[in-house]
Amino acid sequence: MAEAPSRRWRRWGTVLVFALALYVIVRAADTPQDTQSQSRPRPAAPPPAASPAAAAAAARYDPADYAAQVRARARETGISAQLLMAILYNESYKPHDPELEWAWQRYKPGAAFGIANMHRSTFDDVKQGRDFVDRRWEDLPADRDLAIEAEAWYLHDLAAHWPAAYTRDELLALGYNAGPSNMLAFARGATPGRQARSYLQRLHDNWSEAGTSVARWH
């Protein structure tokens, strides 16, 4: 017996609705849910916050506590102990806690390290032929004697270069701050820039305290 046309159309309509629903489900399963959020780069993580203990350790730093190391490295390199100490005072404008310095270096790779604020390229140059040649620049924040040793030898190397209108110690301090090529230019009569003049003024301001500190417990 032949099937009524209306019943046949209803059955095909049901099949079509089921097929369409199945197609929609399959397409949804294959489609990424949020392509924009997946491709959007995540912002860089901020440097870790310093712990209260790290902040307290940084606050306790006093260059005068390292007078013995300064005198020892001064004798070893032939550099004025008062100059070494005065530069440490000049460079004490920021916290010197190892955890803080390592965290900051991850945020700013070009930062200087250690209580003498030495850059990687300077440390890698000055350690050549020295007894700390196997040490790494990354060691400076945690090893303050190494920082003083590298500072002293860098000044020793700078001392090989000049005569000038400045005293030997002044010129060495300018070289420590501005580099050997600028130091030679100052020795030949070039006028230091604002930053170098400010550094020299701070050296003068710190000179008396540095002398007192380096004589402590002597």
Mean pLDDT is lowest, of 42-46, 118-122, 210-214, for 42-46
Tell me the C-alpha distance between 134 and 162, whole Å.
30
Write the single-letter amino acid at 41.
P
Cβ–Cβ < 8 Å for 187, 163: yes
The pLDDT of residue 77 is 96
Looking at every residue in the chain, the average pLDDT score rounds to: 79
Query: Does position 211 have pLDDT exceeding 60, yes or no?
Result: yes
On the question of pLDDT at 148 being above 80, the answer is yes
Q: Is the pLDDT of residue 63 over 70?
A: yes
Distances (CA, A) of 17 to 8, 14, 113: 14, 5, 71
Q: Which pLDDT value is given to residue 110?
A: 83
Q: 81 pLDDT exceeds 60?
A: yes
List all residues 6 or more positions away from 113 whose beta carbon is below 8 Å from its beta carbon: 101, 105, 119, 120, 123, 137, 138, 140, 141, 147
**What CA–CA distances, in Å, run from 124 to 44, 55, 105, 136?**
29, 29, 17, 8
- Do the beta carbons of residue 211 and residue 70 sit within 8 Å? no
The larger pLDDT score, comparing residue 4 to residue 174, is at 174
Q: What is the pLDDT of residue 162?
A: 58
Give the pLDDT band of residue 45 (cuts 50, 70, 90): very low
Name the pTM for this structure: 0.64
**For residue 113, which phi and psi values (nearest 5 degrees)?**
-120, 150
- 209 residue type, one letter: E
